[in-house]
Amino acid sequence: MTYLSEALKKYYCKEGNKLVFQNKYSLNQLALEMWERLDYSGMDPSVLSRVLSGERLFTEIQLEVFCQILGLPFQDVEALNQSLHNSMVSRYGRWFSFSKLSLDTIDFIDSLLKTGQDFLENGKYHEANEVVSPVEDFLEKMLKNNTKTLLQAKICDQLSTVVYFKGKSVIAKSPAGRVLNDITLSVSKLKKLFSYFRNEQTEIRINSLLAHGNYIAGGYTNNSEREHLYKDAVKYGHRAFIKLPYSNFDKLLVMRVVTISTIYLQDELNFMQIKDLMLKNLKLFPKDQFFYGSYLFNTISNGMLLFRMSKSNKVRELSKKYFSKTLRGGHMTELSDIRSGLETYLRLGIKEDRIENKINRGLQIASEENYPRHFESIKKMASKLL
């Protein structure tokens, strides 16, 4: 909870399973009214719900519109603004007004993006999005209102990063059947930004999201009807990979998407080329990227098993030895390893006494870390393996 979410409790009550505000609006009705008054952007029921639960904060303009709709008196408005101030100081270490653009504002947003990037590198996609999402509306307005080319380029780059983080968060929680539809907004925004400023990083982000989205839409199956999705995942993944520097963790992630999509396509020749390239270039990756390094090379090891290649364990051990084992993404590394292992067991028809323990551990992590798609995937495999 935040100071703001505690203060907001005064203006709604629970009636059954629904929240009802003091003007008799439901949560959906209030979110819709706010969305309309905010120029049809920056608000929906999920955003409002997360503000009420303390997962995120209102922006100043959002709080102002909230107060207007409920017709709150001056003293209540002042109290809520103070609660927002206290919440921002508590969360970010300082108060910042997103009402005008300045060098201080740009620097502060950069610091938020750095925090979000740290979360992303640890596999915490939802947390990365929550940190930066309050500045999205502000950046969109500033991009429209500023005509200075250099300033527009900086705002465009910051907004591109925020939208990308949101897309990654959406991908992490969307089910296979909906994921491409769910990332449409993020991809469309990135394409629009790319049309303003042909920034290579924005182009990479578009291809990265499309690669990951198409892979997940494949549904973790080699069904012939899903082949086009895996082919698109390989296509977009390659586009992102060749432009990403080895210092960027996303290079490991998009190649993992390409690798596993190649496995589902049963394209052994392409898989061998990927394996040889990754082993040849292993030492070009940063040694501290244990999470994403393990993610990729464990997938290569599992692919070698599926294609009946020798020395699969040697690849796994080689990557473990090279990448420094840190706390980065510990649970997500374990979860992805469990899921990949179960997929391999299922494809090869392997039965092991420890399978049940692995399944239970995977379900526990997926539940605790709020990854419903992984939970359902492991549950589905468990019904076939046990």
- 18 sits in which H/E element: strand 18-21
Q: Over the stretch 310-324, which tens digit does the pLDDT of each residue have? A: 998 899 889 888 987
Mean of the per-residue pLDDT values of the chain: 87
Phi, psi of 76 (to 5 degrees): -70, -40
pTM: 0.76
Predicted local distance difference test score (pLDDT) of residue 327: 46
Burial per residue of 159-180, b for 16 or more beta-carbon CB atoms within 10 angstroms, e otherwise? bbbbbbbbbbbbbbebebeebb
Q: In 3-state terms, what secondary structure has residue 26? A: strand
Q: Over the stretch 18-70, which tens digit does the pLDDT of each residue have? A: 999 999 999 999 999 999 998 777 788 988 998 999 888 888 888 999 999 99
- Beta carbons within 8 Å of 79's beta carbon, 6+ residues apart: 7
Residue 21 pairs in a beta bridge with 12
Written as one string, the DSSP assignment of 27-92 is HHHHHHHHHHHTTS-S--HHHHHHHHHTSS---HHHHHHHHHHHT--HHHHHHHHHHHHHHHHHHH
227-243 and 200-217 helices, crossing angle to 10°: 150
Predicted local distance difference test score (pLDDT) of residue 146: 72
User: Considering only CA atoms, which of 318, 292, 290, 291 is closest in space to residue 304?
Assistant: 318
CB 108 within 8 A of CB 49: no
User: What does the angle CA 149 – CA 151 – CA 157 come to, to the nearest 5 degrees?
Assistant: 100
Q: Higher-confidence residue: 380 or 179?
A: 179
Residue 269 has pLDDT above 90, yes or no: yes
Phi, psi of 19 (to 5 degrees): -95, 135
Give residue 40's region: left, alpha or beta (phi > 0; psi -120 to 50): left
CA distance 222 to 232: 14
Distance of CA 106 to the CA centre of its chain: 23
Q: How many CA atoms lie within 13 A of 363 on its CB side?
A: 13
Q: Which of 51-55, 92-96, 267-271, 346-350 has the highest mean pLDDT?
A: 267-271
List the structure tokens of 272: 């061998």
User: Considering only CA atoms, which of 162, 159, 184 is closest in space to residue 174?
Assistant: 184
Predicted local distance difference test score (pLDDT) of residue 316: 87
- The confidence band for 234, taking pLDDT boundaries of 50, 70 and 90, is very high
- Beta carbons within 8 Å of 59's beta carbon, 6+ residues apart: 42, 98, 134, 137, 138
Q: In 3-state terms, what secondary structure has residue 6? A: helix
Q: Over the stretch 191-220, which tens digit does the pLDDT of each residue have? A: 999 998 888 999 999 999 999 999 999 988
Tokens 């090891």 identify what position? 301
The identity of residue 125, as a single letter, is Y
Residue 279 has pLDDT above 50, yes or no: yes
Residue 267 has pLDDT above 50, yes or no: yes
CB 131 within 8 A of CB 116: yes
Predicted local distance difference test score (pLDDT) of residue 67: 96
Least-confidence region, from 82-96, 138-152, 211-225, 341-355 = 341-355
CA distance 335 to 288: 19
CB 245 within 8 A of CB 201: no
Q: Over the stretch 341-369, which tens digit does the pLDDT of each residue have? A: 787 777 667 676 678 888 888 888 888 77
Phi, psi of 324 (to 5 degrees): -65, 130
